[in-house]
Amino acid sequence: MLEQAFSGSKKYWTWLIILLVIIGCGVLAFLYQFYQGLGVTGMSRDVTWGFYIAQFTFLVGVAASAVMVVLPYYVHHYKDFGKITILGEFLAIGAVIMCMLFIFVDMGQPLRVVNIFLYPSPNSLMFWDSMSLGGYLVLNVIISRYTLDCEKKGIAPPKWLKPVVILSIPWAVSIHTVTAFLYQGLAARPFWLSAVMAPRFLATAFSAGPALLILLCLLLRKITKFDVGSEPIQKLAIITTYAMLLNIFFLLMEIFTGLYSGLPDHARHFQFLYFGLDGNYRLVPWMWISTILAIVSLILLLVPKYRKNEKLLIVAAFTVFLSIWIDKGLGMVVTGFIPSPLGYVPDYWPTWVEATISLAIYALGLLIVTVLYKVALSVRRMLKTV
């Protein structure tokens, strides 16, 4: 089946080569970081997690969001999603692999990463996170492989596959919940110490993920002959709308609790994020851009006339995705460290090394998704012509 990946148009190959070049740059940057130490990043004694861990967190959400197409199709027998479940699962595979790479490049001693498995520590949420992510990858590989294989052979998928698919649904929820627990269980970091963190992670995941899927489907329609039809896209748009509303609701709860209670431990983090603290305004413009994008997206999604217009829907999906990426991929992690537990207001901004490595990991994810989508579409096309 995978041989389909090796035959393609000129455009396909050009795209792959561009991605490979970016990946190559990332490998070089990583080698530099590996030999110099993590000092070449923007992280410091006070801000010990930065862009890498933030991307990891964001992408766990993208991975988990596959459940938003799997669940309606397999549990509610929503047939229109039949064409896109495989796209969701393949996207999840790409996202999980990116997650793992982001953890890997963030380690001070990446070669020792096996220690996590040699000395399993159930006390540590990081242990559970690696377990759940690994399991989720395996589940999605199995599910997508067998469904596609059976589709190709024109037979019904084996009976045992259904329970595996059903298992993947709570599993998807678990990966992002455990990722939230990584943060929300730390008494040292009041900004993260919030029970609404896990629900909010899920809400952001289930809006940014389907928004990305909408964009991918529309892109596929444009550059290939593969058309999922407008029904499933509208369904995805509705899922995105609800999840985005929930996300904003949860965010307002956080802000209310933090600011109205006036507890300095909580309030100062929000102050840093939205208004700047002690002369550090690093994230302020970003957070307001994110806010404006969120408002624009909600207007476009909530008014049926706009939502049904696919051109505007593209804008809506973009704004949702970007708004959440800024919130999770830039703001959420770093703000946990600013101000520091000793009341200092350190600064953090990713360096070119971090940017290059991150870009390369995203390129690799795109490469994986491209190749997998190519395989899926080729199988479908063959079926039609036979």
Partner 1 sequence: MSIDRRQFLLITAGVAAAGLAGKQTLSVFAENQARKSDGFAGKRWAMLIDLKKCHENEGCTKCIDACHLTHNVPHFGNKKDEIKWIWKEKFEHAFVEQENYFVPEQVKQKPVLLFCNHCSNPPCVSVCPTQATWKRKDGIVMMDWHRCVGCRYCMAACPYGSRSFNWREPRTHIKQLNPDFPTRTKGVVEKCTFCDERLARGLKPACVESCPVKAMVFGDLENPNSEIRKMLGETFTMRRKPELGTQPEIYYII
Q: Is 279 in the site for partner 1 (CB under 8 A)?
A: no
Cα→Cα distances 202→108, 199, 326, Å: 29, 5, 16
- Kindly report the number of other CB atoms within 10 A of residue 315's CB atom: 14
Tell me how far, at minimum, the Cβ of 48 lies from partner 1, in Å: 4
Tell me how far, at minimum, the Cβ of 247 lies from partner 1, in Å: 24
Q: Which stretch binds partner 1 (CB under 8 A): 236-244, 337-345, 355-363, 373-381?
A: 337-345
Query: Which structure tokens are listed for 386?
Result: 């036979």
Phi/psi region, residue 346 (left: phi>0; alpha: psi -120 to 50; beta: rest), is beta
- Kindly report the number of other CB atoms within 10 A of residue 226's CB atom: 15
Return the residue of 343, 352, 382, 383 that touches partner 1, per CB under 8 A. Answer: 343
| Residues in 112-171 at the binding interface with partner 1, rule: CB under 8 A | 112-113, 115-116, 118-127, 130
Give the number of residues in contact with partner 1, rule: CB under 8 A.
45
Binding pattern to partner 1, positions 53-92, x when CB under 8 A? ----------------------------------------
Alpha carbon distance 233, 313 (integer Å): 9
Q: Is 48 in the site for partner 1 (CB under 8 A)?
A: yes
As a whole number of angstroms, the longest Cα–Cα distance in the chain is: 69
Binding pattern to partner 1, positions 282-321, x when CB under 8 A? ----------------------------------------
Alpha carbon distance 256, 356 (integer Å): 37
Q: Is 31 in the site for partner 1 (CB under 8 A)?
A: no
- Angle at alpha carbon of residue 182, lines to 130 and 326, rounded to 5°: 100
In the complex with partner 1, which residue's Cβ is closer, 126 or 161? 126
> In the chain, what is the straight-line distance between the N-terminal and C-terminal CA atoms, in Å?
16
DSSP H/E element including 222: helix 197-223
In the complex with partner 1, which residue's Cβ is closer, 188 or 303? 188
List of residues contacting partner 1 (CB under 8 A) = 36-39, 43-46, 48-49, 103, 106-110, 112-113, 115-116, 118-127, 130, 182, 186-189, 264-265, 336-337, 340-344
